[in-house]
Amino acid sequence: MDYEVTSNRLNGHTRGDIIREADLGDLTTDLLFLVQAGHLSPLKVKKSAKTIDIDPQE
Amino acid sequence: MATTTYLSNPTLTINSVDLQDQCTSATINYVYEQLETTAFGDTARKFGGSAVTSLQNNSIEVELFQSYASSETEQTVFSLVGVVTTLVLKPTSAAVSATNPSYTLTGAYLESHTPINASLGELSTITLTFAGGVLTKATS
């Protein structure tokens, strides 16, 4: 899952960066704490809109 | 000539969060527990030895200004009580080197926190003690 950095306190990253858990190395206990504290926000995967097949008119 | 160190710009990260600008004091206690190895025939007490490895008993104590604003001290620290985390301290914000070593305490436990510790007319501060964990020193 990707996360958006939402504070300027995350070591080595700036607000707006898109990072993954691995980008924080092994210095982070639990990403949940960083999300709760407002340093990270999980990025939700957007589902693509359903497409409608339109039969060509005869 | 003797050299002295005036720590004015050390860096502190707790759980990857940079809290340098909230920190006013930091102490690393690097400890190997003392095990007595005195035996018959010795004329003085002995401790440790090349074949004796004792447990590390490290701790880090930091004093921080309290702040309840978004992404500041309280929000960062509150969730860490009762769990283990990692702290990194450096004497200055410059790159890690032999003269600016980085100290990492991995697996340190935060037992307690004082969310409100305030007096009228004074800035609110909190003192945190992270105990246990393995301390490593990096010079590059």
C-alpha to C-alpha distances, B120 to A21, B23, B106, B117, B123, nearest whole angstrom: 42, 21, 37, 11, 8
Structure tokens at B43: 């004329």
CB pairs under 8 A between A and B: 61
Cα separation, B85 vs B11, whole angstroms: 17
What ranges in chain B are assigned the alpha helix state H?
73-78
Residue A57 confidence (pLDDT): 66
- The contact set of A with B (CB < 8 A) is 6-11, 24-30, 32-34, 36-39
Q: pLDDT tens track of chain B, all 140 residues?
A: 677 777 778 999 999 999 999 999 999 999 999 999 999 999 999 998 888 889 999 999 999 999 999 999 999 999 999 999 999 999 998 999 999 999 999 999 999 999 999 999 999 999 999 999 999 999 99
Q: Among A38, A8, A28, A5, which Cα is nearest to B88's? A: A28
CA B57/CA A18 separation, integer angstroms: 37
Q: Do B79 and A9 touch (CB under 8 A)?
A: no
Closest residue, chain B, to A33 (C-alpha): B79
Has this prediction a pTM greater than 0.95?
A: no
Residues of B in contact with A6 (CB under 8 A): 71
The reported pLDDT for the residue numbered B119 is 94
